[in-house]
Amino acid sequence: MKFTTIVASVTLLTALATAQTTETTVDALRNIYYRCADNESVLSCAKPKVLAYLSHAVKQDRLGITDDLAIVKSRDMPAESSEEYYPSQYDSVDPARKELLRSLMLEKLDVYLSSHQLEAKLPEAIVGSNIVPRSLVDSMPRSLTVPLSDSSNGQGNEIYWNFS
C-alpha cells in the first residue's frame, strides 16, 4: 500500500511539473537541432520535424516563441476548404505546380498573419533589476500587443508577398 502511494505521488508531481512548463518555439527548435546535429544529413533529419512542429503550432491559440514573446490568435481565421494540397515528388519539376504551391503557402501565411498578434511582455530581468530605475519600470507597460498584419479587411497586405 505504501509503495502504491509513493508511486502515485511521484506520478502526480511529475504530471504537475510537466503541465507547468510549456515548451517555447525556441526550446522546440533547439531540441530538433540537438537531435539532428550528429546526423549526416541535418536537413533531411530536421525538415520533417520542423514541418510537424509548424503544423501543430499554427493550430494553437497561443504560441510561445520565448518566455516573454508569443503569437496570439486575435480572431478566427476564415474556414478553409477541407481539400488540402499535398505536393508530390514531381512538383519541383513542374513550374506550374511549383507556382501553385508557392501561391497556396503565401495565401495561408497571409491569412494566419492577419488573424494573429505578437504579444511581448516586459522581461522579468528588467522588472526585477536593480540597474533599471524603478520609476522607469513602473512607467512602462507590462505587455504590448502588435498586429502582424496592417490590414483590417481580413487579409494582409498582398504587396509584401509579391516577389516577382
**If pLDDT is split at 50, 70 and 90, which confidence band does 36 have?**
very high
Q: Look up residue 36 and give its three cell numbers.
A: 539532428
Structure confidence at residue 152 (pLDDT): 57
pLDDT tens by residue, 124-145 = 888 888 888 888 888 888 888 9
Inter-residue contact 70 to 62 (CB < 8 Å): yes
Three-class DSSP category at 72: strand
Q: How confident is the model at residue 76 (pLDDT cuts 50, 70, 90)?
A: confident
Question: What CA–CA distance (Å, rounded) separates 27 from 160?
Answer: 29
pTM of the model: 0.64
Strand partners, 143: 121
Are residues 58 and 112 in contact, defined by beta-carbon separation less than 8 angstroms?
yes
Query: How large a percentage of the chain has pLDDT more than 90?
Result: 23
The whole-angstrom distance between residue 107's C-alpha and the CA centroid of its chain comes to 18
Within 8 A by CB and 6+ apart from 85, the residues are 100, 101, 104
Distance of CA 95 to the CA centre of its chain: 30
Residue 65: pLDDT band by 50, 70, 90 thresholds? Answer: very high
Chain mean pLDDT for the chain: 75
| Structural domain spans, the chain | 22-57, 66-164
Instruction: Report how far residue 44's alpha carbon sits from residue 61's, in angstroms, rounded to the nearest whole number.
Output: 29
Short-list 160, 161, 153, CA closest to 75: 153
What is the rounded distance in angstroms from the CA atom of residue 103 to the CA atom of residue 158? 11
